[in-house]
Amino acid sequence: MKVERTDSLEADLTDPSSPIWSDLTAETVSLSPVPLDAQPTEYIRASRAESSYGETAQASAMAIGRGDQLYVRLEWQDDEKPNAEFADAAAIVLGTGDGIRTLGSDDAPVTLWYWAEDRDDSFSLTSRGPGVVRKNADVSIGSNANLGDNRWAVVLSGPASDVSDAQLGVAIWNGSNDERAGLAAVSGWHSLDTE
């Protein structure tokens, strides 16, 4: 994925509807469910064995770097069913190795820049597998989101140093399908071209 660069301070990169985003070409990102056998408890594995999760099949992503910050805009189709107990959510997944399919592991932890529709703040998490996360309190993540015509557009921003040697992935949780923790749709790795 090409990371465009800008030095303009006039462009509001945090706004998903900013004209600067319409000048870029989005990359389509295919998503599939985190494997059922990777879920952290027998209860989750048994309760979801006959029902689908990780239903979001694709998203689009684009990125802009400015100064020491990286801005990533995600967009995906939400369903029309209203959320009940759980919120829609999304994350940029940063890391290397085989851990992305399971949102990390003990041997290959990943970093999540996490946004949820029902939270005022977004945050950075270290994930070592479905539901095994730790908040990185020293990392500040910004976010802004719009929902229109059942499509989410979310911009997540954070320190470019988080992605210096990393690859990028995407995770989406559909709240109306009771998706949370490891019950997500996740992509494979996408290399970042920062040149």
Query: Residue 98: inside a domain, yes or no?
Result: yes
Is the model's pLDDT at 187 over the cut of 70? yes
The pLDDT-based confidence of 164 (bands split at 50, 70, 90) is: low
Q: Give me the mean pLDDT over the 74-79 stretch.
A: 95
The pLDDT-based confidence of 67 (bands split at 50, 70, 90) is: very high
The pLDDT-based confidence of 28 (bands split at 50, 70, 90) is: very high
Calculate the CA 140 to chain-centre distance.
16
pLDDT of residue 97: 82
Query: Residue 87: inside a domain, yes or no?
Result: yes
Query: Residue 49: inside a domain, yes or no?
Result: yes
The pLDDT-based confidence of 185 (bands split at 50, 70, 90) is: very high
Q: Which positions ≥6 away from 166 have C-beta within 8 Å?
A: 94, 95, 96, 111, 192
- Greater confidence (174 vs 38) lies with 174
Closest CA to 101 of 16, 167, 155: 167
Number of domains into which the chain is organized: 1
pLDDT in tens, 105-149: 999 999 999 999 999 999 999 999 888 899 999 999 999 999 999
Domain encompassing residue 80: 3-186
Q: Give me the mean pLDDT over the 44-54 stretch.
A: 90
Q: How many residues does the chain have?
A: 195
In whole angstroms, what is the distance from residue 92 CA to residue 62 CA? 11
The pair of three-digit structure tokens given for residue 125, joined into one six-digit string: 């998490």
Calculate the CA 168 to chain-centre distance.
9
| Domain containing residue 93: CATH number | 2.60.40.1190
Query: Residue 86: inside a domain, yes or no?
Result: yes
Query: Residue 194: inside a domain, yes or no?
Result: no
Query: Residue 193: inside a domain, yes or no?
Result: no
Map residue 91 onto helix, strand or coil: strand
pLDDT of residue 112: 95
Query: Residue 39: inside a domain, yes or no?
Result: yes
The tokens 């952290």 sit on which residue?
40
Query: Residue 46: inside a domain, yes or no?
Result: yes
52-56, 81-85, 89-93: range with lowest mean pLDDT: 81-85
The pLDDT-based confidence of 192 (bands split at 50, 70, 90) is: confident
